[in-house]
Amino acid sequence: MRSITLTAIEGIPMVNAGDDLVRLLADGIDRSELRPQDRDILVVCQKIISKAEGRVVNLGDIEPSEFAKNLAKRWEKDPRAVELVLRQTSRIVRNDRGVIIVETGPGWVCANAGVDESNSLSDDRAILLPVDPDASAARIRAGLMKRYGADMAVLVTDTFGRPWRDGLTEICLGIAGMNPILDLRGTTDLGGRELHHTVVAVADELAAAAGLLMEKAAGVPAVLVRGYTYQPFDGSAKVLIRPAEADLFR
């Protein structure tokens, strides 16, 4: 019988800039009495990575532009927070009803450029996305492989909204060791018909499944996934971003 198991990695302390994230994650894995194996996947929420990499900003240090002040006044927002969002933005996709949907420098389209004030442990601090989530995933993977000798993959996740769907879900921002997509084009369905368009975002599916154990107030920043057979991969999670020429809503 095929099965996939997900195990919450608990007991990881609050992370601060400069902390050895590999050690903290590995210590948590050890406390869970798991021994990482080849083909395991460690799903890690971006927030602890951002904290360890110093991607935390004091809003008191932000001087908002006139543009940010005008946007903030219109929607009764903190102009410093709006300015911080704009600094992470390469393109404003939509700005309406108090929601700013933007494209970030790496190409992710999301609300507020991923800037998050929740779980920052201060009313005047905000957490930014990692500069390079793929590189972050690769560093964690290399450290865990050195410690355990297991060829495993690492996913970095964040919580995103979705067009046409209510509610939030976890998606994959960074990856190391596995292909984030499963391309089924050229294969056949149960009836023998050839598939021409089916490309599955397996990394997003795994991220969403792990998110069930990473609740906001649970203090669980990582989940070990075992049992999913993935394709080895040396590329980037950015392959999940739809190319501009194929984006009918751009």
Question: Is residue 222 one of the residues assigned to a domain?
Answer: yes
Q: Point out the domain boundary residue: 80, 98, 127.
A: 127
Q: Kindly state whether residues 134 and 181 are assigned to the same domain.
A: yes
Binned average pLDDT, 10 residues per bin, the chain of 250 residues: 94 94 96 93 97 95 95 91 94 90 92 82 85 97 97 97 92 98 92 92 98 88 97 95 87
Q: Which pLDDT value is given to residue 152?
A: 97
Question: Is residue 245 one of the residues assigned to a domain?
Answer: no
Q: Kindly state whether residues 161 and 69 are assigned to the same domain.
A: no
Question: Is residue 113 one of the residues assigned to a domain?
Answer: yes
> Domain tally for the chain?
2
CATH, residue 49 = 3.30.1330.100
Q: Kindly state whether residues 201 and 153 are assigned to the same domain.
A: yes
Q: Which pLDDT value is given to residue 135?
A: 98
Between strands 99-104 and 109-111, the pairing is antiparallel
Q: Which pLDDT value is given to residue 119?
A: 60
Q: What is the DSSP secondary-structure string of 134-185?
A: HHHHHHHHHHHHHHH----EEEEEEEEEETTEEEEEEEEEEEESS-S-EE-T
Q: Which pLDDT value is given to residue 121?
A: 59
| DSSP type of residue 61 | G
Q: Kindly state whether residues 82 and 119 are assigned to the same domain.
A: yes
Domain that includes residue 160, residue range: 5-54+129-240
Q: Kindly state whether residues 79 and 188 are assigned to the same domain.
A: no
Question: Is residue 247 one of the residues assigned to a domain?
Answer: no
State if pTM tops 0.75. Answer: yes
